[in-house]
Amino acid sequence: MSSMRVAMIGYGFMGAAHSQGWRVAPRFFDLPARPELALVVGRHAEGVADAAERWGWDESATDWRAAVERDDIDVVDIVTPGDSHAEIAIAALEAGKHVLCEKPLANTVAEAEAMADAAARAAERGVFAMVGFTYRRVPAATFARDLVAEGRIGVVNQVRASYRQDWLVDPTVPLAWRLRKDRAGSGALGDIGAHAIDLAQFITGLRLESVSGTIETIVSERPLPAAAPADGATLGGAAGAGTGEVTVDDLAIFAGRFDSGALGSFEATRFATGRKNALRVEVSGTEGAIAFDLERLNELEVYDRTAPDDRQGFTRVLVTEPAHPYVAAWWPAGHMLGYEHGFAHQVVDFVRGIAAGEQPRPSFADGLQVQRVLDAVERSAGRESAWTRVA
């Protein structure tokens, strides 16, 4: 493969981030195939045409079905709301296209199972699918995974993971698609809690087996948006006339038990006043601990319990050296990376996996497992927080 022509379905906030990744990755990394930004698709002709011009896509269109059937498209990148993930992904895989799909994988376990089944069948033909848990690709998070795998903190005893934002504290924020269960599947739990779940499992190498949780909708009614937002946009823009019901959670808190027996505590909220995008995972083990904080994404806190008593304490490791994951392709040592670099690293791993004929991770099966955890939390909350098995 000398080139890999991409069609991106959706063009909101995630569309901008994915466009950055596709455009930049081949300019800094040696890739076995060069991604080409061939086509961006959205519901609104004028909006998607503007997105194509801004982000460097060759063409724009409004019919995703025609896009996945085109012979000159190799990859379909899905950045739409969750209610359309299953239909688009399955159609693209059946048409022989590799698929990259934003998280969470789907709105329901049944949809995610259908997607994982389609991906398994496609993989037998050398066609692969990956779900976009991008925070795995932050160098410090990948480095944390490597340290745990090497046994640097011993046996994992406890995990604490939280993802906190505050963009819904204002009750006048309009009723965006992310606040409607029919579009988003769930609220803070699926939108950002999925990241906390995936990152905790990725770093530790463990899997959640059971959960006990509660969810809450703090503001139950919001103004209707003045106009339909761009496909996949985060917010609904200005308020219009009337109000509508919020049908998803604003806050989710749950405990979890991993397959090793270790315990975890999780929080996902869009009502953490003052917190804009605060994802943190701390892992405590028998020989040490590590802590990753997205608000300081170039750092990793590392604690070595085996050090002499007079030298113990968390050490700040600056993850900006060429020896660290992904970093060698970028800037001189000590120079910082940002949020957008994770999307370039996602492209790198996706393209390399496809070119090698290997399943890139996280797979749709991995995305399905996270979906089952989300479902178990919701079922637990409906049973007065009773401990609930992950299917």
pLDDT number for residue 230: 52
Same domain? For 84 and 178 the reply is no
Residue 228 lies in a domain: yes
Residue 126 lies in a domain: yes
Q: Say whether pLDDT at 239 is over 80.
A: no
Residue 391 lies in a domain: no
pTM of the model: 0.95
Same domain? For 215 and 301 the reply is yes
Could you say which of 100, 133, 166 is where a domain stops? 133
- The CATH number covering residue 63 comes to 3.40.50.720
- The CATH number covering residue 253 comes to 3.30.360.10
Overall domain count for the chain: 2
Could you say which of 133, 152, 181 is where a domain stops? 133
- Phi, psi dihedrals of residue 10, rounded to the nearest 5°: 105, 155
| Residue 6 bridge partners (DSSP) | 37, 75
Same domain? For 120 and 144 the reply is no
Residue 155 lies in a domain: yes
Same domain? For 127 and 140 the reply is no
Mean pLDDT of the chain: 96
Residue 389 lies in a domain: no
Interacting residues of 238 by C-beta distance below 8 A, sequence separation 6+ = 174, 225, 226, 227
Residue 171: both structure tokens together: 């009750």
Q: Say whether pLDDT at 233 is over 70.
A: no
Q: Say whether pLDDT at 310 is over 90.
A: yes
Query: β-strands 299-304, 315-318: how paired?
Result: antiparallel
Could you say which of 83, 105, 133 is where a domain stops? 133
Mean pLDDT of 211-239: 78
Same domain? For 178 and 273 the reply is yes
Same domain? For 185 and 199 the reply is yes
Same domain? For 92 and 158 the reply is no
Task: For residue range 105-130, list pLDDT tens digits in order.
Answer: 999 999 999 999 999 999 999 999 99
Same domain? For 116 and 211 the reply is no
pLDDT number for residue 232: 54
pLDDT number for residue 175: 96
pLDDT number for residue 241: 73
pLDDT number for residue 226: 84
Q: What percent of the chain has pLDDT over 90?
A: 95
Query: β-strands 221-225, 156-164: how paired?
Result: unpaired
Same domain? For 288 and 202 the reply is yes
Same domain? For 149 and 235 the reply is yes
Residue 129 domain boundaries: 3-133
Query: β-strands 388-389, 315-318: how paired?
Result: unpaired
Residue 349 lies in a domain: yes
pLDDT number for residue 72: 97
Same domain? For 67 and 190 the reply is no
pLDDT number for residue 111: 98
Residue 40 lies in a domain: yes
Amino acid letter at 148? V
The 3-state secondary structure of the chain, one letter per residue: CCEEEEEEECCCHHHHHHHHHHHHHHHHCCCCCEEEEEEEECCCHHHHHHHHHHHCCCEEECCHHHHHHCCCCCEEEECCCHHHHHHHHHHHHHCCCEEEEECCCCCCHHHHHHHHHHHHHHHCCCCCEEEECHHHHCHHHHHHHHHHHCCCCCCEEEEEEEEECCCCCCCCCCCCHHHCHHHHCCCHHHHCHHHHHHHHHHHHCCCEEEEEEEEECCCCEEEEECCCCCCCCCCCCCEEEEEEECCCCCEEEEEEEECCCCEEEEEEECCCCCCCCEEEEEEEECCEEEEEEHHHCCEEEEEECCCCHHHCCCEEEECCCCCCCCHHHCCCCCCCCCCCHHHHHHHHHHHHHHHHCCCCCCEHHHHHHHHHHHHHHHHHHCCCCCCEECC
Same domain? For 30 and 106 the reply is yes
Residue 386 lies in a domain: no
| Residue 4 bridge partners (DSSP) | 35
Residue 163: both structure tokens together: 């993802």
